[in-house]
Amino acid sequence: MKNGRIYEDLSLIGGRAHKTFNVFVVLFIILLLCFWKIQILDHENYWKKSEANRVREIVLPAQRGLITTRNNEILANNIASFKVSIIRENCKNIDESCQKIAQLLNLEVSVLKERINRYETLPAFVPIVVKDNLSRKEVSIVESRKLEFPELIIQAEPKRYYPYGDFASHVIGYLQELSLKEIKMDIYKEMRFGDLVGKIGIEKEYEAKLKGEEGRVIEIVDSLGKKKDEIARLEPLKGQNIMLTLDFDLQKKAEELLEGNEGSIVILDPRTGEILALASYPNFDPNKFINRFTPKEWIDLINSPEFPLENRAIRGLYSPGSIFKLVIALAALDLNIITDRTLFFCSGNIVIYGHPFSCWFKPGHGNINLYNGIKHSCNIYFYQLGKRLGIEEISVYARMLGYGRKTGIDLSGEKDGLVPDPSWKERVKNAPWYPGETISVSIGQGPLLTTPLQVACHTAIIANRGRKITPHLLMSDNFISSERERQEWVPDKILVKIKKSVFEKVIKGMWKAVNENGTARAARIDGYDVCGKTGSTQTVSKETSEKLEKEVKTHSWFTGFAPKSDPKVVITILVEYGGLGGSTAAPMANKLFDLYRKKYD
């Protein structure tokens, strides 16, 4: 019996021991898994943390290259600046830290948290910039309270600075912080979170040239983060400087003339394609983009009804109006549909395809030939040409002369514009082309759309008597911006296949429009042989205006070149809702031609 009782007691103990053993086995397996996760899966993370306790790598930002005008005025410079970043792994309680840091740096807690949350997927030891452009006082405050705020670090960086504020802002562009989505793109694979990159304009187009190469310093630090020694140093390389073709005085004058209006001015050299001025108004101050935006500030900017970020010179789409009559004249002459002596009678009104069409000059121009048709911008003269040409021929010559396709300028975001034809209407609107629509297109109305830069390039082709140019902003003797432009520079593609004598006749009409009391007479300069053409395009039809009981508002156009025999400058102006081209755009052109002549000719 005694032996039996002993056996039963041992059995109970053995069962318990077995269970205990299993528990220890499970705990041991869990422990092994933890060690495996720490040493294998999270090895790199913990290795970096351990190294950070004694070794610190500091990135030395490279200075961006300068951007200057052709006259060496600096449009984009660099100045010394400081920023403060937070390291989340040094925070005992992130919410408490945010409250204290917001008070220290005079920030709103919500803004601070929003910025930290934006990068919550980053490792906790990666610094997140919470405020930049610190004053000396702010730097001193943070440094003096380093023991109280171990999660904050001060970093020095070169800051982009635009000394002339909003001057040429659509050309220069601006810098902005990379988003989490952009950082994953191949073009930004060498960039880090928080880096600023060019988002539009020259800053974006030549980012690779401007950004330079970052340097590195590896230091030995103590437990408080104080530097004890320096192991290695790689100095940063400054980015390349970029000289633009912009002329400071012409750009400044163009922006002054546009102030208070919405519109664009393009001034270029037809011999080389160099852009001397490219103004778009309203504009913006790129310095504001250097200091990191709050979401509300950014939304307010992009939702502004004036669209200050829109570069109207390359992205604004407008009907060219009477400017397009030059295309109609060139096509009709080149196809021998008319000669320069062919007469049409303008009574002020005409019926074509059963629909009434009118001339802008209600009494009518009487019998009128090519030269006076251009000089007085007679609608009925060009209605007749458009009817004889047909929409197919009009579209062919429009594309040949630079409409309906990008110009190739070294700025991203340029729009193609639109040259309509029957196939386009069938494809887009699933409807046939009606002959009456051709009559509207013949005076630059209807679905025809263009940018001011396209009009300037079209004018340069006329000034060059058929030679194409590629507009560009980078100062270079041999500017070729892409493979498509390389093809454009093949010799047999440089010239438009229109006889030189045809261009001479149209140029004579443009000269008369300026110098013989034509519609562009306000652009005249004694002794300078300015050639030009005005245009006024309706934003709504007369019928729609009458229904809405609103005044018909028109955009004001001028495009021209000088001198006639040896063209050196092309000027194109578009003023939204500016009224008649002869009363608004042409006087602006006069001031710009006069300035160019005094400075260069």
Task: For 20-44, write each residue's pLDDT tens digit.
Answer: 777 788 888 888 888 787 777 777 7
Q: Region of 81 please: left (phi>0), alpha (psi -120 to 50) or beta.
A: beta
pLDDT higher than 60, residue 239 = yes
488 versus 208: the higher-pLDDT residue is 208
Task: Report the range of poorest mean pLDDT among 109-123, 375-389, 435-449, 536-550.
Answer: 536-550
Which helix (H) or strand (E) element contains residue 387? Answer: helix 379-389
Please report, in angstroms and rounded to a whole number, the separation of the first and last CA atoms in the chain.
130
Alpha-carbon distances of 350 from 326, 354, 355, 369, 546, rounded to whole Å: 21, 10, 8, 17, 21
Active-site residue, 322 included: yes
The pLDDT, as a whole number, for residue 426 is: 94
Q: What is the DSSP string of 116-148?
A: HHHTTTS-TTS-EEEE-S--HHHHHHHHHTTTT
CB proximity list for 504: less than 8 A, separation 6 or greater: 465
Q: What is the pLDDT of residue 477?
A: 53
Report which of 471, 458, 465, 466 is spatially closest to residue 566, judged by C-alpha positions. Answer: 465
Give the helix/strand (H/E) hosting 297: helix 295-302
Cα 494 from Cα 469, distance rounded (Å): 8
Say how far apart CA 417 and CA 441 lie, in whole Å: 14
Is residue 80 classed as helix, strand or coil in its secondary structure? strand
How far apart are the C-alpha atoms of 456 and 460, rounded to whole Å?
Answer: 6
Are the CB atoms for 406 and 416 separated by under 8 Å?
A: yes
- 290 versus 441: the higher-pLDDT residue is 441
pTM: 0.82
What is the rounded CA–CA span in Å between residue 450 and residue 267? 17
**How is residue 407 written in tokens?**
């110009």
Geometric angle at alpha carbon 470, from 467 and 473, rounded to 5°? 140
Integer CA distances (angstroms), 582 to 260, 380, 530, 585, 590, in order: 19, 19, 14, 6, 11
More confident site: 56 or 258: 258
Q: Report CA 464 to chain centroid distance, whole Å.
A: 28
Pairing of strands 67-68, 242-243: parallel
Answer yes or no: is pLDDT of 409 > 80. yes
For residues 113 and 132, give the distance between their C-alpha atoms in angstroms, rounded to a whole number: 16
How confident is the model at residue 489, as a pLDDT? 42
Cα(107)–Cα(129) distance, integer angstroms: 13
Residue 263 β-bridge partners: 281, 575
Q: What is the Cα gyration radius of the chain?
A: 34
Tell me: pLDDT of 548 over 50: no
Whether pLDDT at 549 is above 70 = no
**pLDDT of residue 488 exceeding 70:** no
- Residues ≥6 apart with Cβ < 8 Å to 247: 69, 70, 71, 267, 276, 277, 599
pLDDT at 37: 77
pLDDT tens digit string along 130-170? 888 888 888 888 888 888 888 888 877 788 999 999 999 99
* Average pLDDT in the chain: 86
Q: Could you tell me if 61 and 194 are in contact, meaning their C-beta atoms sit under 8 angstroms apart? A: no
Residues with Cβ within 8 Å of 312's Cβ and at least 6 positions away in sequence, in order, are 262, 263, 264, 280, 281, 452, 574
Instruction: Compute the average pLDDT of residues 377-398.
Output: 96
Bridging pattern class, strands 196-200 and 128-131: unpaired
Interval 265-285 mean pLDDT: 96
Token pair 């609608």: residue = 379
Q: Hey, what are 71's tokens?
A: 């006259």
Q: Which of 264, 322, 442, 556 is labelled catalytic?
A: 322
The residue that leads in pLDDT, 19 or 198, is 198
Query: What's the Cα-to-Cα distance from 553 to each of 95, 316, 407, rounded to whole Å?
Result: 56, 17, 29
